[in-house]
């Protein structure tokens, strides 16, 4: 690490000497192609200075942004990215990774940022038109942003603000803030798209092809002060198996009289490099998702606009299992005592689980906003996200009997959700000041009831087995002043005050009922930045900010109330994370409309929230705990250029180095102190991305992308040394290809291949292998 910093010393000296901060300015450039002008414009031209976004509606990010921002337009996404889900828009952003396991992944596609891994979903924020999509009810793989409330076809642009440097956002912004700006028409328009995809998949003893299709339609119009937009989408997707039944070789016993010799088990090594058998698959989802988005805006006056958004998302999925094991007669073996290589292993219903899920979520948002561009503008906004129906059923009896019904469990989260309320204003007094200020309230409610049922398919005769309820509320006030105090200089100073409450916490398991006491805390988060424009071609910038990430409802209250025989318990006494993040950058404008940015970043986090083993508890029982001190020092470079070497060839790329270590931890995994000095889970030391897009002529656009991630770990003690195994986290290198052809001004066809080189890589679950896609799109 020090050798790298030494080589980059001239850049670092220049950055520190200027101690500046300013964000990239992005402006959409018109396309040179007459035929495809509406769909394939050139990449945005980045200019140096503060953020100024022109051409269409502005992002909902603050008007003066004191740090790095990257963006992509909807036209770029359509031309260069195989985007089947909205999160695909982030595929080639510097330092970002979405853990998307298959097309339509609705419950594990969490976002990873510079210094936060895919196990820390609550350390980033995702919005659509300023509406919160991040699921901050919990922190981890199952609390994914609600990507399904945005479809790729309705995206106008996506902006990403790196780091907690704006006082307008809570401490969950410590990693990044992603804002989707969706379409609102200026005249009548209609769009339709149909697509299909297929993934030939080979792993262990699974060899089959998983496929699916997608269709969407959009209509919109504007007449006078009234504008409306309607978007419908259906996705029908078969994903690859995600979970595998396993047994350690060392766990085998001597065969008994009822033991059955079997074949088909696959011998391999687990993530700790111990020999084990892979016995079969489960959690192979067939999911059908329906999406409806309706938006209505009305100009009450030339400077005052009301806007309403309705979002509906419905998901029906079936999780399947398959055993590799066969007896002497060729029959599939799901249960009982199975003999493999002379060792007996007992199989249970949990080895080959099934599931059926029915989810119906609703979103409402209403805003009233002035836009005078005068001395003062204001906005009132409110949103609600509601788990109207959220039911998961699974059997507790083994296959094949479970196919006909039998005992099981049902997990019901109806009534869960969140709501937000905000009042914001922007004041532009005489002089060089722009002041943003506001009041906010974000409320979260968790309702989880797990019931035993006599028939898991019919969900008959339910009786409560466990229950987890709770609420949190965050009330905030902030102010931020962007001041151009001299020619070429700008400073941004901000402060955020937050009052957090956790209440109505209830944990019920095995007949034990715990009602947790109410908690509250008040914290303050200052922000500061300074920028120096050296000339038209060079900007120096720096920013620093504190972020306080309060525990989520799930981290506090979801889990068994006692340690006996369980794998996770509640921890209502968690302390909030406290992070100081600093960024130093230097950015240059280069020939051919190119830019180069070099950013040195540092994050220091106290009481980081991770799931780890409880001290002194046997058997080992996990709980969310505070890790005393995690520190990250890294370097990010990003470059892009247009018409590079040949006309129509646009290139972009980024490389990120992160030295992210656990500095202190009074907890442990297996031996006290064994996590100190180890790498932070799911934060690789190296990652990189690149995208080349060539507009060959007025008809053809071809793009080729590549993504790389280095070695990473999932456990706090880094004991998972074998990343290329089920439950491991591996390095990877993947490439993607997309070709788009303009059949006419209104019709476009595209074919694509993701993971062209068919890399087999893991992030606990296996990622998709080579996937083929094709689409046909109409625009009017």
Return the higher-pLDDT residue of 510 and 48. Answer: 510
Q: What is the pLDDT of residues 472-486, one digit of tens each?
A: 999 999 999 999 999
Q: What is the pLDDT of residues 623-655, one digit of tens each?
A: 888 999 999 999 999 999 988 888 899 999 999
Sequential DSSP letters for 332-360: B--SEEEEETTEEEEE-GGGS--EEEEEE
Residue 475 φ/ψ, nearest 5 degrees: -110, 130
Contact between residue 110 and residue 121 where contact means Cβ atoms under 8 Å apart: yes
Query: Is the pLDDT assigned to residue 598 strictly greater than 60?
Result: yes
Q: What is the pLDDT of residues 404-415, one digit of tens each?
A: 999 999 999 999
Return the higher-pLDDT residue of 625 and 102. Answer: 102
Tell the burial category of 89 from Cβ atoms under 10 Å away from its Cβ (0-12, 13-18, 19+).
buried
Parse the chain into domains and list their residue ranges: 2-779
Residue in the structure block whose two tokens are 């006056």: 301
Query: Is the pLDDT assigned to residue 566 strictly greater than 60?
Result: no
pLDDT for 618:
54
Percent over 70 (pLDDT), the chain: 89
- CATH class of the domain defined by 2-779: mainly beta
Tell the burial category of 646 from Cβ atoms under 10 Å away from its Cβ (0-12, 13-18, 19+).
exposed
Query: Is the pLDDT assigned to residue 541 strictly greater than 90?
Result: yes
Residues 6 or more apart from 501 whose CB is under 8 A from it? Answer: 472, 473, 474, 518, 519, 520
pLDDT for 39:
41
Sequential DSSP letters for 500-541: EEEEEEEEEETTEEEEPPPEEEEEEEEEEEEEEEEETTEEEE
Positive or negative torsion for Cα 320, 325, 329, 330: positive
Residues 6 or more apart from 83 whose CB is under 8 A from it? Answer: 77, 89, 91, 152
Q: How confident is the model at residue 614 (pLDDT cuts 50, 70, 90)?
A: low
Strands across the sheet containing 343-347: 260-261, 336-340, 343-347
> What stretch of H or E contains 556?
helix 553-557
Q: What is the pLDDT of residues 761-776, one digit of tens each?
A: 999 999 999 999 999 9
Q: What is the pLDDT of residues 20-37, one digit of tens each?
A: 222 333 333 333 233 333
Residues 6 or more apart from 280 whose CB is under 8 A from it? Answer: 205, 244, 245, 321, 322, 323, 324, 325, 351, 352
CA end-to-end span of the chain:
53
Return the higher-pLDDT residue of 348 and 13. Answer: 348
> What stretch of H or E contains 571?
none
How many separate helices (H) and strands (E) can be counted in the chain?
4, 42
What is the pairing mode between strands 53-54 and 25-27?
A: parallel
Q: How confident is the model at residue 495 (pLDDT cuts 50, 70, 90)?
A: very high
Rounded CA-CA distance 713/99 in Å is 15
> pTM of the prediction?
0.91
Rounded CA-CA distance 229/661 in Å is 47
Rounded CA-CA distance 552/137 in Å is 5
Query: Is the pLDDT assigned to residue 77 strictly greater than 80?
Result: yes
- Tally of CB atoms within 10 A around 209: 12
Q: What is the pLDDT of residues 230-286, one digit of tens each?
A: 999 999 999 999 999 999 999 999 998 889 999 999 999 999 999 999 999 999 999
Query: Is the pLDDT assigned to residue 391 strictly greater than 70?
Result: yes
Angle at 627 between CA 622 and CA 633, to 5 degrees: 130
Residue 202 φ/ψ, nearest 5 degrees: -135, 120
- Tally of CB atoms within 10 A around 112: 27
Rounded CA-CA distance 714/112 in Å is 13
Q: What is the pLDDT of residues 123-144, one digit of tens each?
A: 999 999 999 999 999 998 889 9
Token pair listed for 674: 């064994």
pLDDT for 616:
59
- Look at the chain and count its residues: 780
Q: What is the pLDDT of residues 431-463, one digit of tens each?
A: 789 999 999 999 999 999 999 999 999 888 889
Average pLDDT over residues 720-747: 96
pLDDT for 643:
87
Contact between residue 90 and residue 111 where contact means Cβ atoms under 8 Å apart: yes
Contact between residue 138 and residue 558 where contact means Cβ atoms under 8 Å apart: yes
pLDDT for 620:
53
């Amino acid at each position: 690490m020090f050798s790298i910093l030494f080589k980059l010393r001239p850049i670092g000296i220049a950055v520190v000497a200027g101690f500046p901060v300013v964000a990239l300015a992005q402006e959409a450039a018109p396309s040179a192609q007459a035929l495809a002008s509406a769909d394939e414009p050139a990449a945005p031209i980045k200019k140096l200075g503060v953020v100024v976004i022109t051409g269409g509606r502005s992002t909902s990010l603050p008007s003066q942004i004191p740090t790095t921002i990257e963006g992509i337009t909807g036209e770029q996404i359509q031309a260069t990215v195989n985007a089947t889900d909205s999160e695909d828009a982030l595929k080639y952003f510097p330092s970002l990774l979405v853990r998307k396991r298959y097309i339509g992944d609705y419950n594990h596609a969490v976002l990873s940022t510079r210094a936060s891994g895919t196990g820390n979903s609550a350390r980033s924020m995702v919005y659509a038109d300023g509406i919160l999509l991040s699921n901050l009810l919990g922190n981890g793989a199952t609390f994914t942003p609600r990507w399904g409330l945005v479809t790729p076809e309705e995206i106008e642009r996506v902006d990403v603000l790196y780091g907690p440097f704006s006082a307008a956002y809570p401490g969950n912004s410590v990693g990044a803030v992603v804002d989707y700006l969706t379409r609102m028409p200026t005249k009548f328009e209609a769009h339709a798209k149909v697509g299909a995809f297929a993934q030939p998949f080979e792993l262990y003893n699974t060899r089959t092809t998983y496929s699916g299709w997608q269709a969407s339609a959009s209509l919109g119009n504007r007449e006078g002060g009234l504008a409306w937009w309607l978007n419908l989408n259906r996705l029908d997707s078969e994903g690859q198996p995600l979970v595998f039944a396993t047994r350690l070789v060392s766990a085998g016993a001597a065969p008994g009289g009822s033991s059955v010799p079997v074949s088909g088990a696959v011998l391999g090594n687990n993530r700790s490099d111990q020999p084990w058998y892979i016995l079969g698959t489960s959690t192979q989802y067939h999911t059908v998702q329906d999406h409806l988005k309706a938006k209505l805006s009305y100009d009450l006056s030339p400077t005052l606009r009301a806007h309403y958004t309705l979002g509906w998302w419905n998901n029906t999925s079936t999780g399947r299992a398959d055993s590799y094991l066969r007896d002497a007669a060729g029959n599939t073996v799901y249960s009982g005592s199975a003999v493999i290589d002379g060792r007996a292993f007992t199989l249970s219903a949990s080895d080959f689980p099934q599931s059926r899920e029915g989810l119906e979520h609703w979103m409402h948002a209403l805003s009233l906003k002035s836009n005078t561009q005068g001395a003062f503008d204001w906005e009132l906004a409110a949103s609600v996200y509601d788990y109207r129906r959220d039911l998961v059923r699974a059997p507790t009896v083994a296959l094949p009997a479970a196919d006909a019904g039998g005992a099981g469990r049902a997990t019901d989260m109806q009534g869960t959700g969140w709501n937000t309320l905000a009042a914001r204003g922007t004041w532009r007094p005489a002089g060089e000041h722009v002041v943003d200020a506001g009041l906010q309230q974000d409320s979260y409610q968790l309702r989880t009831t797990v019931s035993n049922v006599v028939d898991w398919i019919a969900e008959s005769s339910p009786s409560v087995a466990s229950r987890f309820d709770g609420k949190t509320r965050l009330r905030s006030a902030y102010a931020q002043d962007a001041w151009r105090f001299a020619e070429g200089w700008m400073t941004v100073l901000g402060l955020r005050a937050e009052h957090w409450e956790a209440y109505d916490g209830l944990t019920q398991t095995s007949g034990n009922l715990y009602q947790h006491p109410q908690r509250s805390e008040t914290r303050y988060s200052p922000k500061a930045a300074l920028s120096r424009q050296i000339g038209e071609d060079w900007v120096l910038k720096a920013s620093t900010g504190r972020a306080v990430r309060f525990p989520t409802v799930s981290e506090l209250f979801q889990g068994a109330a006692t340690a006996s025989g369980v794998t996770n318990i509640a921890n209502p006494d968690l302390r909030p994370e406290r992070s100081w993040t600093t960024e130093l950058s230097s950015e240059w404008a280069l020939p051919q409309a190119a830019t180069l940015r070099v950013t040195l970043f540092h994050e220091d986090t106290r009481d980081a929230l991770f799931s780890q083993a409880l001290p002194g508890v046997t058997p080992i029982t996990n709980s969310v705990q505070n890790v005393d001190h995690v520190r990250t020092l890294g370097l990010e470079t990003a470059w892009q250029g247009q018409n590079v070497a040949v006309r129509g060839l646009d290139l972009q790329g980024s490389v990120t180095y992160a030295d992210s270590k656990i500095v202190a931890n009074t907890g442990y995994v297996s031996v006290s102190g064994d996590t100190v000095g180890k790498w932070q889970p799911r934060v690789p030391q190296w990652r990189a991305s690149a995208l080349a897009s060539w507009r060959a002529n007025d008809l053809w656009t071809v793009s080729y992308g590549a993504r790389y991630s280095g070695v990473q770990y999932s456990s706090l003690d880094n004991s998972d040394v074998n990343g290329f195994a089920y439950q491991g986290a591996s390095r990877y290198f993947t490439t993607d290809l997309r070709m788009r052809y303009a059949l006419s001004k209104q019709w476009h066809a595209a074919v694509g291949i993701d993971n062209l080189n068919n890399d087999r890589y893991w992030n606990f679950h296996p990622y998709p292998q080579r996937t083929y896609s094709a689409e046909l799109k109409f625009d009017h």
